[in-house]
């Protein structure tokens, strides 16, 4: 009796042990809904910012605003028509100053706070809108740029005075461009 009970238990373990493993079901199922929602949220934010920027431009018809291919608006306060001066290229050293304002015109950072900047074109950190804006300027020129938030400090802001998703206005003056040797 004991002998047959042991054989029965061993046979039971063998049969149960031979069962193939079953795949476990995932605890959560992810779909593309988060990404889809994020895309819609960003499109809506972009449309809202574009309307606000276009309203500012409409209030200043005397200024000849242009839209860049990089998604921001600008006009030249001081434009140099000389062909002898060139815009900066990769590695050129640029000396410039700028300020940052919100769309209401309130100064966030003054030129004094930001001081005169020395920047190696495309080799140092600078927010994308200003980096692209500097590429449009020659030494001696001044321009005003209006950057939507994605071209400014984006979702995180500057973690100091500039909040999240804040479009900004920058008044920029380029003093010199030293070309890379």
Summarised one tens digit per residue, pLDDT across range 67-94 is 999 999 999 999 998 887 899 999 999 9
The pLDDT, as a whole number, for residue 1 is 61
| Cβ(144)–Cβ(72) below 8 Å | no
Residue with tokens 């802001």: 157
The pLDDT, as a whole number, for residue 149 is 95
pTM, 2 dp: 0.79
What integer is the mean pLDDT of 95-121? Answer: 97
Backbone φ and ψ of 148, nearest 5°: -65, 160
Residue with tokens 């998604």: 71
Q: What are the angstrom distances between the C-alpha of 156 and each of 85, 149, 150?
A: 37, 10, 10
| Cβ(162)–Cβ(168) below 8 Å | yes
d(CA 70, CA 68): 5
> Residue 106: is its pLDDT beyond 80?
yes
pLDDT tens digits, 128-157: 999 999 999 999 999 999 999 999 999 898
- H or E element that contains 128: helix 128-134
The pLDDT, as a whole number, for residue 38 is 85
What integer is the mean pLDDT of 31-35? Answer: 75
Class of the CATH-defined domain 64-181: alpha beta
- What are the structure tokens assigned to 54, written together? 């276009």
């Amino acid at each position: 009796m004991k002998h047959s009970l042991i054989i029965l238990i061993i046979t039971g373990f063998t049969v149960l042990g031979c069962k193939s493993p079953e795949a476990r079901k995932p605890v959560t199922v992810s779909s593309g809904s988060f990404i889809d929602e994020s895309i819609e949220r960003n499109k809506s934010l972009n449309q809202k910012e574009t309307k606000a920027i276009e309203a500012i431009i409409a209030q200043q018809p005397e200024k000849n605003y242009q839209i860049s291919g990089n998604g921001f608006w600008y006009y030249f306060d001081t434009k140099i028509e000389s062909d002898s001066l060139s815009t900066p290229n990769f590695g050129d050293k640029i000396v410039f100053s700028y300020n940052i304002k919100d769309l209401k015109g309130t100064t966030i950072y003054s030129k004094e706070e930001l001081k005169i900047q020395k920047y190696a074109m495309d080799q140092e950190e600078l927010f994308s809108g200003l980096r692209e804006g500097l590429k449009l300027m020659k030494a001696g020129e001044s321009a005003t740029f209006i950057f939507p938030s994605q071209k400014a400090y984006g979702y995180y802001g500057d973690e100091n005075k500039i909040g999240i998703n804040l479009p900004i206005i920058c008044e920029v003056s380029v003093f010199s461009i030293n070309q890379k040797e």
